[in-house]
Amino acid sequence: MTIITKFEKKCSVCGRTSLQPILSSTNSWGYPDIDLRPPEMRRSTMNTWLVECPHCGYVASNIENKLEVPKDLLKTGAYLTCEGKNFKSPLSERFYKHYLISKAEKYHGSEFFSLLHCAWTCDDNDDELAVEIRKLALKSLYKIDPQEEDEKNALKLIEADLLRRSLQFDEVIRKFKDVILEDKTQNDIITFQIELSMNKDSACHTVEEVVEK
């Protein structure tokens, strides 16, 4: 069950308050996509993952968190227009603005996941930009230096999907044909990505398709 409540939050940038949604609880039922996008009901809570101050446009997981770069960033044309990208969804815009903030703050992990989540929202509303955002997400992914093996493997799975879904089929095959992971399901996902790439398949697929093969 998903429970979303609203609380008054004071923006750390402009000092004004607004009602913001807070995710109190949720659950997941079923299999994630092979880029690890969660299934329902968590899938439908993306509108709570980031919030936006309606007064100054600051985007954060919590607008009470301090902005680590000059607040003039929020007034730039690049920020206000999402660098000219004509998103069809306000949620896509929110994730992209958070990417711009994270990029300016040099938080590479946050920068990458903001773009990944933006791509997910484009899948739902704006297929024309989904490929472009995934290519941008790949550039951010390559800035990350994961230390833990679990994180490294998770990023490999996401990278393979980003490459395939941005139509870089030959690159998937080249980079992953010799990759072997210890976890059987993860290894099977990589094999599945290669098979899909050989068939020029750029569609969304789920882990269920892998485990039931």
pLDDT in tens, the chain (213 residues): 889 999 999 999 999 999 999 998 888 889 999 999 999 999 999 999 999 999 999 999 999 999 999 999 999 999 999 999 999 999 999 999 999 999 999 999 999 999 999 999 999 887 789 999 999 999 999 999 998 999 999 999 999 999 999 999 999 999 999 999 999 999 999 999 999 999 999 999 999 999 987
The structure tokens listed for 116 are 């990944």
* Cα–Cα distance, 63 to 50 (Å, whole number): 9
What's the pLDDT at 49? 97
* Cα–Cα distance, 134 to 186 (Å, whole number): 21
- The set of long-range contacts for 42-51, using a CB threshold of 8 Å and a minimum separation of 24, is 42/2, 44/2, 45/2, 45/4, 46/91, 46/117, 46/120, 46/121, 47/21, 47/91, 48/4, 48/21, 48/22, 48/23, 49/23, 49/117, 50/94, 50/95, 50/98, 50/114, 51/9, 51/20, 51/21
Q: What are the φ and ψ backbone dihedral angles of 200, each rounded to 5 degrees?
A: 55, 40
* Cα–Cα distance, 47 to 144 (Å, whole number): 25
* Cα–Cα distance, 152 to 4 (Å, whole number): 32
pTM of the entire predicted model:
0.95
What's the pLDDT at 212? 84
Structural domain boundaries in the chain? 1-67
Contact between 163 and 138 (Cβ < 8 Å): yes
Q: How many degrees, rounded to 5, is the angle at CA 66 between CA 53 and CA 58? A: 25
What's the pLDDT at 96? 98
What's the pLDDT at 28? 84
